[in-house]
Amino acid sequence: MNDENTDPLLTARVLLVEDSKDHQFLFIKRLNNLGIHNITISETGEQAIDKIKGDPDFDLVLVDYNLPTGISGIEVIREIRNLNPEIPIIMVTGLGSEQIAVQAMKLGIQDYITKVDLLQTDLSDIIVPLLLERKVQQETLLAKRLKSDPTQLSISVFKFGQVGPEPYLTSPLPFESAFESEQSRESFLVKLGTHYMSATGTGHNYAQGLYELPVPSHRVDIALDEHEDQDKPPNPFSKYHSLVYGFRMTEKDHFDERIKLNNSMNYGLVVVIFPILYRSILPNRSIIERRLSELLSSYQDMEELNTAFLKRAQNIFFITS
């Protein structure tokens, strides 16, 4: 999806493994100066590994070699590599510890810096190339994964019906097996449409456009704020994200005073659900929004939207150049 350049620094998610509060402050300051603000801190190697296990899609990991408690920096690197062989890793070493850095390089890290470098070196020369490479890598990986298993990306269309939001077209959801029955699936879809139409402001001037929204739980008895009963199994949908495109289009024989639109206009949503792993979609929202807008403009009425439209919408995410 390289229609236009997106700044990998602004969207980068960095995991900093550092026990020293002073060095945490210095790293955060230096990273902020580069435009990187999404920084997660782990003060021990064990914390870092737990975070990677829970969310393996960080764009960069900075690991202090000299962790005074728990497992060492080398062991952290080895375990991260086992969990995710693709994530870029930079090791932070003490002055004169280049031999240790060589050992870490053999484990597959991309670079290392010393604590002196933290104060004196232009970190952009090290970090920016890695993040640019990571962005290209993610986009390529995304395209390969979607082409090998297109069901991991679901496209649905909702419209404002006589009794409120209703599913109009739905492709298979990537978590179909989580539903106990077809009724459970239908309840989820109605809940999904209601949630998203409420969030996007049905019928208002700002209702058109692309939004990034979480996927709510499918269980009808759980409020949308997701305060779940701890005794129930974890929500499988928390591992998914969605892009929601709000649009207005004519629909024959439709007119509802609840939507303050012109004659026979209705409000609809194109909902794209995908695993949270596919974060490379998110920096390209403006590209996706333009393509969805162009696609929808080729249809004159909601009645023309069909399964062929779902396929055309899905193909937007397969294009990487």
Asked whether 119 and 89 are in contact (CB, 8 A), the reply is no
Least confident of 48-62, 154-168, 252-266: 252-266
At 285 the pLDDT is 76
Q: Of 41, 11, 10, 45, which is closest to residue 27 (Cα–Cα)?
A: 41
d(CA 248, CA 281): 24
Domain assignment of residue 2, yes or no: no
129 domain residue, yes or no = yes
Residue 94: CATH number of its domain: 3.40.50.2300
Q: Rounded to whole angstroms, how far apart are CA atoms 10 and 23?
A: 22
21 and 76 both lie in a single domain: yes
Burial (CB < 10 A; 0-12, 13-18, 19+), residue 212, is exposed
Domain boundary pick from 92, 116, 143: 143
Domain shared by 72 and 208, yes or no: no
Last residue of a domain, one of 108, 143, 178: 143
Continuous segment of H or E residues that includes residue 38: strand 38-42
Residues 97-118 have a mean pLDDT of 79
For 242-306, the DSSP string reads EEEEEEEEE-TT---TTS--STTEEEEEEEEEEETT-GGGGGGHHHHHHHHHHHHHT-SBGGG--
How many residues does this entry show for the chain?
321
Of 94, 123, 143, the residue at which a domain comes to its end is: 143
Q: What pLDDT does residue 170 have?
A: 93
Residue range 267-293, pLDDT digits in tens: 899 999 887 766 656 667 778 888 999
Higher pLDDT, 113 or 255: 113
Q: What is the pLDDT of residue 321?
A: 43
Note whether residue 3 is domain-resident.
no
Mean predicted lDDT score pLDDT of the chain: 80
Judging by DSSP bridges, how do beta strands 154-161 and 89-93 pair with one another?
unpaired
Domain match, 14 and 68 both: yes
Position 73 pLDDT exceeds 70:
yes
Phi and psi at residue 31, to the nearest 5°:
-70, -40
Total domains present in the chain: 2
- Condensed to tens digits (0 to 9), the pLDDT of residues 12-23 reads 889 999 999 998
Residue 275 pLDDT: 79
pLDDT at 277: 64
- Model confidence at 97: pLDDT above 80: no
**Domain range enclosing 119:** 8-143
